[in-house]
């Protein structure tokens, strides 16, 4: 995706300003000029280090290392832009295929390949060289079928990607990035990776120099996710770890050995692990390169390494102590759980591990259906008051029953017409006006998950793995 | 320039409060107050922080880490040690009550006012001695941080289990509190610690002991909020800025709720390095500020404003932007986009054309370029300083203000630079549309481009210089007509890029939605036809009009439920993706499509007919299918 590309640097207004540190004697030996240079340097520091840097320095400490002073040079502060978005589709580009609002798909534009759907067959050769946002006609059916080719964004990707697991939906994903306050160059942890929909959203926000550590305990998903990230040109922003951050193997072993001090309930699904756990737990040496899941749990990034952590796990409370160790002071954490029971346990675990400002929220997207609606004025025509003639005719008809002559039928019609309008449904239409209307869709996604956000305390927390061994 | 240092990584948001930084104070009762860390004890112009109609100085907060809890004292904000929460530990209070109950048996039951008054103050003094400062209690807590979590269970266990405790015997006649208001005032004026007052209130409440554990906890919390107010230093980020503004006056920001803001940013695909066009005059620049922060100083945000200068700079500046972020933010006057294009060019020429060379001279830029850092003193300034001012302190003050002014002056884009930037965006589209016949006019033959597909694969980035690129996303949140605004701004947006419109009301967006769905352009006017041909043309797809239902929960063991009052609406969002103006259109006219369909038949052809019939029948009733299909362009 586009945000993974390298930035181009161009000297902007700041770089051209020539603001930098100057010698005290830059303008000569006059005391006034000396003073001016000193003040100019202070102003330069304030400019580059933000609000009134000099005063803050005095408030904290006075040491200024040389590395810091090097940064007071406007030539460092170039404008950095992504290259303009590619207008034309290149071979092997990821392209989102927009069939209709609810049918999105994706292709890698491979020469001589064919994409088929219910609207027809579409040749990739037609895609290549066309601009993004174009409309493509099908090869068969005389081009009756069509589709649109769009440039991928994490949102469109989430709607078209191959589901390996339940994905974090767009609304939740937007709330998570927003409330986790993810911004460029941050280090973020995510567990588990799943289908990678949320990973792409996070990656967009941490580009260009951030790092996403994403953890997944299913080896197949790890492989697929890695391949996807590479294919989308995001490999340099992400590291996919094959690891169970909860460290259930280890917990289980600890529980089997001595009684688990935290009294964590073990779910039944781990029965299979029990056998191997006892042998694995002794294996202390861990190789980061090969990403062997040693069953220890945790994020293995050291203390206070991540700005934000996102947990999408069946038992997030098991990962909370690890998260507390890995997260930076005042960092943000989010746990995504569909059930209230999970949320309650997680909130309790967060409280215990020094997190504060807990906030549990839920959001649903209400989509609107828009249509032009024609409103007619109610019909105002009067009904016919029965005349003597008409009444007698009616009587005659009732008496005559089925023996209606053609003559009498004609007569009836004529009579009624004479009386005024026909007594039918075609009443006189009043003037109508069109208005634009909207109503919510008849169906909506009723629930995705409860999102629990919290802020880490400023005190560093111990490594939970240290206490286990 | 060759340095490997990336200033952006250094300029990461600092963990501690700096001088002149803006920050938020979050209270336990959900109040959120803006404050600034002013380095002087007394500020001349404005109060740095105002809580409960009192002004507090913030100079003592500089250097504290974000997340620190402060106690709102009588005269100052007292930073509490790490580990303290917004609500003080209840266990202190329960201890205190026990002590008090031993000594105030007489005071509590007394209807003799004077006696009880004296006793209460007495108690206050006594407990004051027992726990001299809150700092020591805090230190005590720090030793046992786990204690904090057992609050709930503690209170539960302290309640005697023999008695049935519920509201059956409650007499609500407003006499349960024997401590009078004047007595409380006396306590307050003698600077009694808040915890003592809370304890006194509890021990003097005749009904407290007959309350359930939950209701006792609630009572204590309420009293603590009032008598032990605390707040937390919170960084200003897009979400906290928006929520604080929303709390203060939601109407001022057109009811933009913070989760809606998050959606706007996500759906607009905001990321570092982009060029983003923002019109957010209706929401006080919150979206502009949020985009800048999301992009971390990479790329640029073009934000439109009306008037001489944006009226909400104070809001935007609360984000404590770094120099890179400030550079990325470019304010553009409305007229640059909405003004007459040719008139603009004429104006430029009229005003700035140099008569001799015939070139346009940017006077502002020329002046700016003449300044050489550190901007040596002009003779008259020097004279003024040496002869008129003399006072050393005043001279140095003058010089530092002057230097700061020059840093601003040197890093400000001139109007003409910005005009070129904006016009560049538009020119790309104009040139693109002008180049060659559009495929919409040529009768479409399927696969016409097959042969030249290979030839067309060129990296077309190379010929678009950085300063004339189109925008990568467009966000509109304005009180002006959204349809007109969008149509005017769409040419500035690159094809296949998202746009998002926020509006407080639904109806204006309906019109926009409808216009985008049925957009007609006039064609073939030069053929001599009297009646111009109107052709339906798609300019955008992926249209979606939504609002969000959002609620917050109270999560407590055994007491989990949604909040009693929640926000009912956070504004409406219309989003879409711009299509390529040349090849994204309906290149076949309806007549031709009908012909083909008649020939081809098949599922698609027949089904379509049914749909149109069905839609007529239902006339607005509609099922989900109807809705789905309505979204297809």
Q: B9 and B56 in one domain? A: yes
Rg (C-alpha) for chain B, rounded Å, is 34
pLDDT at A172 over 70: yes
Q: B267 and B351 in one domain? A: yes
Q: B258 and B175 in one domain? A: no
Taking an 8 Å cut-off on Cβ atoms, the answer to whether B272 and A351 are in contact is no
Q: B147 and B45 in one domain? A: yes
The Cα angle at residue A428 between residues A422 and A432, in degrees rounded to 5: 160
Per-residue tokens: B571? 């504004």
Residue pLDDT, tens place only, B164-185: 777 777 777 777 787 788 888 8
* Structural domain containing residue B393: 363-413
Return the domain boundaries, chain A: 21-72, 94-150, 167-364+448-468, 386-423
Q: B285 and B143 in one domain? A: no
Residue pLDDT, tens place only, B265-322: 999 999 998 999 999 999 999 999 999 999 988 999 999 999 888 889 989 989 888 8
Please indicate whether residue A276 or residue A238 has the higher confidence score (pLDDT): A238
pLDDT band, very low/low/confident/very high, at B153 (cuts 50, 70, 90): very low
Number of domains in chain B: 3
B295–chain A Cβ distance below 8 A for any pair: yes
CA A311 to chain B, closest CA, distance in angstroms equals 18
Q: What is the mean pLDDT of residues A156-179?
A: 90
Per-residue tokens: A24? 């005290």
How far apart are the C-alpha atoms of A461 and A449, rounded to whole Å?
28
Taking an 8 Å cut-off on Cβ atoms, the answer to whether B450 and A125 are in contact is yes
A110 contacts B418 by C-beta, under 8 angstroms: no
CA B502 to chain A, closest CA, distance in angstroms equals 14
Q: Is residue B443 part of a domain?
A: no
Q: B367 and B434 in one domain? A: no
Ordered DSSP codes for B184-249 = HHHHHHTT--HHHHHHHHHHTBSSGGGS-HHHHHHHHHHHHHHHS-EEEEE---HHHHHHHHHHHH
pLDDT at B417 over 70: yes
Half-sphere exposure of B537 (CA within 13 A, CB side): 20
Closest A-chain CA to B2: A76
Model pLDDT, residue B597: 73
ipTM associated with this complex: 0.83
B630–chain A Cβ distance below 8 A for any pair: yes
Q: Is residue B617 part of a domain?
A: no
B370–chain A Cβ distance below 8 A for any pair: no
A13 contacts B327 by C-beta, under 8 angstroms: yes
Q: Please give the DSSP secondary-structure letter assigned to residue A117.
A: E
User: What does each C-alpha distance from B370 to A16, B363, B367, B580 come to in angstroms?
Assistant: 12, 11, 5, 44
Q: B178 and B268 in one domain? A: no
How far apart are the C-alpha atoms of A250 and A260, rounded to whole Å?
11
Residue pLDDT, tens place only, A314-353: 999 999 999 999 999 999 999 999 999 999 999 999 999 9
| Among candidate residues A153, A138, A140, A143, the one with its CA nearest the CA of residue A104 | A153
Of A109-123, A184-198, B139-153, B162-176, the range with the lowest mean pLDDT is: B139-153
Residue pLDDT, tens place only, B546-597: 999 999 999 988 889 999 988 888 999 999 999 887 776 666 666 777 777 7
How far apart are the C-alpha atoms of A360 and B554, rounded to whole Å?
7
Closest A-chain CA to B600: A141
pLDDT at B203 over 50: yes
Q: What is the mean pLDDT of residues B197-211?
A: 81
Taking an 8 Å cut-off on Cβ atoms, the answer to whether B544 and A133 are in contact is no
How much of chain B exceeds pLDDT 70, in percent?
A: 72
CA A29 to chain B, closest CA, distance in angstroms equals 13
Q: B576 and B517 in one domain? A: yes
The CATH number, out of the four listed (3.40.50.2300, 2.120.10.30, 3.10.330.20, 3.20.20.140), of the domain defined by the range A94-150? 3.10.330.20
CA B255 to chain A, closest CA, distance in angstroms equals 17
Residue pLDDT, tens place only, B75-102: 888 898 887 888 887 777 777 777 766 6
pLDDT band, very low/low/confident/very high, at A67 (cuts 50, 70, 90): low
A433–chain B Cβ distance below 8 A for any pair: no
Of A99-103, A141-145, B296-300, B489-493, the range with the lowest mean pLDDT is: A141-145
What sections of A50-153 are H helices per DSSP? 53-60, 66-70, 124-127
How far apart are the C-alpha atoms of A164 and A159, rounded to whole Å?
13
Residues in B touching A90 (Cβ below 8 Å): 457, 459
Q: Which of B20, B546, B552 sits opposite A361 (nearest CB)?
A: B552
At residue A3, the 3 state secondary structure works out as: helix
Q: B219 and B82 in one domain? A: yes
Tell me which of B202, B235, B268 is where a domain ends. B235
Taking an 8 Å cut-off on Cβ atoms, the answer to whether A17 and B374 are in contact is no
Closest A-chain CA to B85: A356
How far apart are the C-alpha atoms of B487 and B512, rounded to whole Å?
9
Closest B-chain CA to A456: B67
- Please tell us whether the domain made up of A167-364+448-468 is placed in CATH 3.40.50.300: no
pLDDT band, very low/low/confident/very high, at A274 (cuts 50, 70, 90): very low
Q: Best interface-test mutation with A: which of B453, B516, B558, B615 has the largest number of A CBs within 10 A?
A: B453
Return the residue matching tokens 């005749």: B206
pLDDT band, very low/low/confident/very high, at A225 (cuts 50, 70, 90): very high
Tell me which of B194, B218, B235 is where a domain ends. B235
Q: What is the mean pLDDT of residues A65-86?
A: 77
How much of chain A exceeds pLDDT 70, in percent?
A: 80
| Among candidate residues B327, B346, B243, the one with its CA nearest the CA of residue B286 | B243
Model pLDDT, residue B261: 95
Which residues are CB-neighbours of B633 under 8 A, at least 6 positions away? B517, B538, B541
Can you name the residues that pair with A189 across neighbouring β-strands? A213, A309
pLDDT band, very low/low/confident/very high, at A3 (cuts 50, 70, 90): confident
pLDDT band, very low/low/confident/very high, at B117 (cuts 50, 70, 90): very low
Tell whether the torsion through CA atoms of A219, A221, A225 and A227 is positive or negative.
Answer: positive
Closest A-chain CA to B295: A184
Q: B352 and B368 in one domain? A: no
Q: What beta strand segments (E) does A82-186 contain?
A: 94-100, 103-108, 114-117, 120-123, 134-137, 146-150
The Cα angle at residue A9 between residues A4 and A11, in degrees rounded to 5: 155
Q: B332 and B428 in one domain? A: yes
Q: B278 and B167 in one domain? A: no
Model pLDDT, residue B11: 53
What's the 3-state SS for B340-359?
CHHHHHHHHHHHHECCCCCC
How far apart are the C-alpha atoms of A40 and B212, rounded to whole Å?
66
Residues in A touching B10 (Cβ below 8 Å): 68, 71
Q: Best interface-test mutation with B: which of A17, A358, A449 has the largest number of B CBs within 10 A?
A: A17
Q: Is residue B473 part of a domain?
A: yes
A1-15, A94-108, A359-373, range with greatest mean pLDDT: A359-373
């Amino acid at each position: 995706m586009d945000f993974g590309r390298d930035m181009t640097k161009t000297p902007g207004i700041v770089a051209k300003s020539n603001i930098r540190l100057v010698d005290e004697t830059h303008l000569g030996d006059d005391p006034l000029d000396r003073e001016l240079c000193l003040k100019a340097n202070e102003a330069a520091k304030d400019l580059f280090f933000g609000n009134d840097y000099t005063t803050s320095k005095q408030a904290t400490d006075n040491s200024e290392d040389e590395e810091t002073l090097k940064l007071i040079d406007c030539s460092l502060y170039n404008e950095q832009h992504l290259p303009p978005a590619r207008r034309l589709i290149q071979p092997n580009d990821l392209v989102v295929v927009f069939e209709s609002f609810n049918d999105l798909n994706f292709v890698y534009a491979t020469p001589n390949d064919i994409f088929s759907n219910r609207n027809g067959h579409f040749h990739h050769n037609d895609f290549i060289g066309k601009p993004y946002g174009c409309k493509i006609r099908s090869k068969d059916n005389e081009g009756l079928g069509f589709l649109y080719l769009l440039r991928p964004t994490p949102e469109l990707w989430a709607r078209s990607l191959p589901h390996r697991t339940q994905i974090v939906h767009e609304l939740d994903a937007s709330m998570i990035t927003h409330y986790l306050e993810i911004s460029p160059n941050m280090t973020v942890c995510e567990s588990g990776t799943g289908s990678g929909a949320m990973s792409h959203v996070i990656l967009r926000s941490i580009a260009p120099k951030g790092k996403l550590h994403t953890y997944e305990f299913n080896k197949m998903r790890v492989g697929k996710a890695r391949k996807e990230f590479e294919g989308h040109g995001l490999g340099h922003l992400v590291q996919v770890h094959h690891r169970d951050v909860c460290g259930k193997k280890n917990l289980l072993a600890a529980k089997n050995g001595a009684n688990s001090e935290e009294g964590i309930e073990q779910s039944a699904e781990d029965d299979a692990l029990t056998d191997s756990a006892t042998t694995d737990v002794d294996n202390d040496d861990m190789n980061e390169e090969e990403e062997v899941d040693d069953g220890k749990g945790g994020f293995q990034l050291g203390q206070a390494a991540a700005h934000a952590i996102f947990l999408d796990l069946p038992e997030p409370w098991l990962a909370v102590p690890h998260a507390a160790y890995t997260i930076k002071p005042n960092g943000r954490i989010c746990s995504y759980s569909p059930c209230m029971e999970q949320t309650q346990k997680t909130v309790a675990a967060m409280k215990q591990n020094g997190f504060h400002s807990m906030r549990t929220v839920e959001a649903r997207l209400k989509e609107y259906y828009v249509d032009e609606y024609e409103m007619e004025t109610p019909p105002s025509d009067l009904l016919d008051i029965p005349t003597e003639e008409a009444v007698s005719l009616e009587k005659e008809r009732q008496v005559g029953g089925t023996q209606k002559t053609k003559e009498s039928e004609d007569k009836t019609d004529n009579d009624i017409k004479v009386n005024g309008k026909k007594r039918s449904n075609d009443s006189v239409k009043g003037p109508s006006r069109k208005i634009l209307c909207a109503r919510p869709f008849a169906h909506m996604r009723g629930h995705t998950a409860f999102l629990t956000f919290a802020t880490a305390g400023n005190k560093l927390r111990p490594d939970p793995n240290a206490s286990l061994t | 320039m060759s340095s490997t240092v990336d200033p952006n990584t250094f300029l990461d948001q600092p963990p501690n409060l700096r001088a002149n930084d803006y920050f938020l104070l979050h209270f336990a009762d959900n109040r959120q107050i803006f404050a600034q860390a002013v380095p002087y004890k007394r500020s001349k112009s404005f109060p740095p922080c105002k809580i409960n109609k009192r002004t507090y100085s913030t100079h003592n907060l500089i250097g504290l880490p974000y997340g620190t809890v402060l106690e709102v004292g009588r005269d100052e904000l007292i930073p509490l040690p790490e580990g303290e929460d917004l609500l003080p530990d209840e266990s202190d209070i329960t201890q205190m009550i026990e002590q008090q109950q031993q000594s105030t048996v007489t005071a509590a039951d007394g209807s003799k006012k004077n006696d009880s008054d004296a006793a209460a103050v007495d108690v206050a003094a006594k407990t004051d001695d027992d726990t001299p400062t809150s700092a020591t209690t805090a230190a005590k807590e720090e030793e046992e941080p786990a204690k904090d979590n057992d609050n709930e269970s503690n209170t539960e266990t302290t309640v005697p289990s023999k008695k049935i405790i519920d509201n059956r015997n409650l007499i609500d006649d407003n006499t349960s509190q024997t401590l009078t208001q004047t007595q409380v005032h006396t306590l307050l004026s003698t600077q009694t610690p808040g915890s003592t007052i809370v304890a006194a209130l509890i021990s003097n409440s005749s009904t407290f002991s007959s309350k359930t554990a939950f209701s006792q906890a609630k009572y204590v919390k309420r009293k603590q909020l009032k008598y032990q107010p605390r707040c937390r230093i919170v960084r200003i980020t897009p979400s906290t800025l928006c929520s604080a503004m929303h709390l203060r006056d939601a109407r001022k920001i057109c009811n933009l709720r913070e989760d809606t803001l998050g959606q706007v940013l996500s759906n607009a695909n905001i990321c570092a390095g982009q060029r983003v066009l923002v019109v957010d005059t209706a929401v006080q620049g919150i979206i502009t500020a949020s985009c800048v922060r999301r992009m971390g100083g990479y790329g640029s945000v073009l934000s439109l404003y009306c008037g001489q200068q944006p009226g909400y700079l104070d809001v935007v500046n609360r984000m404590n932007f770094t120099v890179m972020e400030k550079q990325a933010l470019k304010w553009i006057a409305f007229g640059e986009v909405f003004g007459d294009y040719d008139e603009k060019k004429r104006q430029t020429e009229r005003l700035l054309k140099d008569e001799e060379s015939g070139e346009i001279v940017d006077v502002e830029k020329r002046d700016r370029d003449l300044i050489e850092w550190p901007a040596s003193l002009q003779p008259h300034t020097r004279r003024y300083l040496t002869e008129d001012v003399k006072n050393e302190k005043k001279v140095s003050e003058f010089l530092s203000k002057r230097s700061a002014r020059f840093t601003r002056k040197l890093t400000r884009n001139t109007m003409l630079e910005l005009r070129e930037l904006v016009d560049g965006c538009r020119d790309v589209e104009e040139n693109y549309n002008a180049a060659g016949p559009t495929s919409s006019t040529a009768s479409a033959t399927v696969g016409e481009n097959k042969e030249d597909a290979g030839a067309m694969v060129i990296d077309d980035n190379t010929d678009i210089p950085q300063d004339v690129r189109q925008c990568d996303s467009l966000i509109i949140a304005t009180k002006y007509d959204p349809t007109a605004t969008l149509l005017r701004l769409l040419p500035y947006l690159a094809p296949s890029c998202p746009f998002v419109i926020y509006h407080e009301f639904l109806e204006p967006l309906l019109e926009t939605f409808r216009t985008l769905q049925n957009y007609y352009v006039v064609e073939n006017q030069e053929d001599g036809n009297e009646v111009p041909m109107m052709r339906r043309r798609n300019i955008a797809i992926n249209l979606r009009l939504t609002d969000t239902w959002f609620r917050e929960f109270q999560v407590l063991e055994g007491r989990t439920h949604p909040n009693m009052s929640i926000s009912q609406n956070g504004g409406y969002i219309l989003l879409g993706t711009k299509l390529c103006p040349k090849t994204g259109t309906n290149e076949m006219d309806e007549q031709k499509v009908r012909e083909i369909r008649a020939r081809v038949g098949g599922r698609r052809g027949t089904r379509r007919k049914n749909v149109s019939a069905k839609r007529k029948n239902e006339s607005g009733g509609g099922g989900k299918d109807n809705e789905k299909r309505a979204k297809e362009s």
